[in-house]
């Protein structure tokens, strides 16, 4: 397996006015292609901050970040956005589907930002919706879907651009435990059958138990890996 992500002594300081908060205090971490990793820790331990930096949603304060062997620590916001659109898929606790678009349109959206043709975007979105078991619901809007179904659509949207890695921040946090396990089964299938690289942020032991590797954060530091 080759290394996809390498964090070297990453820190993150949030500043507001006079006060500073050290959310990450020096984190080193390596993620191999094809791995499925859980990041665990209590609320406030820095899980989302770490994920946002790895997913190009935010800059680190100090340290080095290598993605596919390239040092991406000092990219501009525009370069970060471009890398994010092409290499990263995200899944969030509250789905973040656009309410006025149906399932198919929500899944096609990332491809429009890449200026792919509508015909090709439609074809790719349909095939991914089928893969996540949502082919019967393509014309449903988010409010016509259950939480578990909305999360499947969100997972399809994360997958449609064929990203190098999918980051899921508390993906089961809004779901009942049975539906949460079904969503985790889908992630496991994507990892085992397609070799997808996945990072699942969770504070749920039932969820982290299903991952090959568990990284625990505490107060902005990696406690164990």
Binding footprint of ligand ADP on the chain (CB under 6 A): 14, 16, 21, 23, 41, 43-49
Handedness of CA 93, 98, 102, 103 (dihedral sign): negative
Smallest distance, Å, CB 112 to ligand ADP?
Answer: 29
- Using CA atoms, how far residue 95 sits from 103, 171, 191, in Å, is 12, 8, 20
- Residues 6+ positions from 104 with CB-CB distance below 8 Å: 122, 125, 126, 129, 138, 139
Q: Which does 184 bind (CB under 5 to 8 A by kind): ligand ADP, Mg ion, none?
A: none
What SS3 class is residue 171?
A: coil
Q: Does 172 bind Mg ion (CB under 5 A)?
A: no
Of 23 and 128, the one with the shorter C-beta distance to ligand ADP is 23
Of 180 and 220, the one with the shorter C-beta distance to ligand ADP is 220
Q: Interface with Mg ion by CB under 5 A: which range of 42-50, 54-62, 65-73, 188-196?
A: 42-50
Of 188 and 221, the one with the shorter C-beta distance to ligand ADP is 221
Among 7, 39, 45, 48, binds Mg ion (CB under 5 A): 48
Q: What is the C-alpha to C-alpha distance for residues 74 and 35, in angstroms, rounded to an integer?
A: 26
């Amino acid at each position: 397996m080759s290394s996809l992500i390498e964090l070297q002594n990453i820190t993150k300081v949030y500043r507001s006015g006079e006060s500073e908060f050290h959310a990450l205090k020096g984190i080193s971490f390596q993620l191999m292609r094809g791995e499925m990793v859980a990041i665990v820790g209590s609320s406030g331990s820095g899980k989302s901050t770490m994920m946002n930096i790895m997913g190009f949603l935010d800059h680190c304060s100090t340290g080095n970040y290598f993605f596919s062997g390239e040092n991406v620590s000092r990219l501009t916001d525009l370069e970060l956005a471009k890398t994010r659109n092409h290499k990263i898929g995200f899944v969030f606790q509250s789905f973040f589907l656009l309410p006025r678009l149906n399932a198919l349109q929500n899944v096609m959206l990332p491809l429009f930002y890449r200026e792919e043709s509508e015909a090709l975007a439609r074809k790719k979105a349909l095939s991914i919706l089928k893969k996540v078991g949502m082919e019967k619901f393509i014309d449903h809007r988010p409010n016509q879907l259950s939480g578990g179904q909305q999360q499947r659509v969100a997972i399809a949207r994360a997958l449609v651009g064929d990203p190098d890695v999918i980051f899921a921040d508390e993906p089961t946090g809004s779901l009942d435990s049975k539906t949460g396990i079904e969503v985790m089964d889908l992630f496991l299938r994507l990892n085992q059958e397609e070799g997808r690289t996945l990072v699942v942020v969770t504070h749920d032991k039932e969820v982290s138990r299903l991952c090959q590797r568990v990284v625990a954060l505490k107060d902005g530091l990696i406690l164990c890996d």
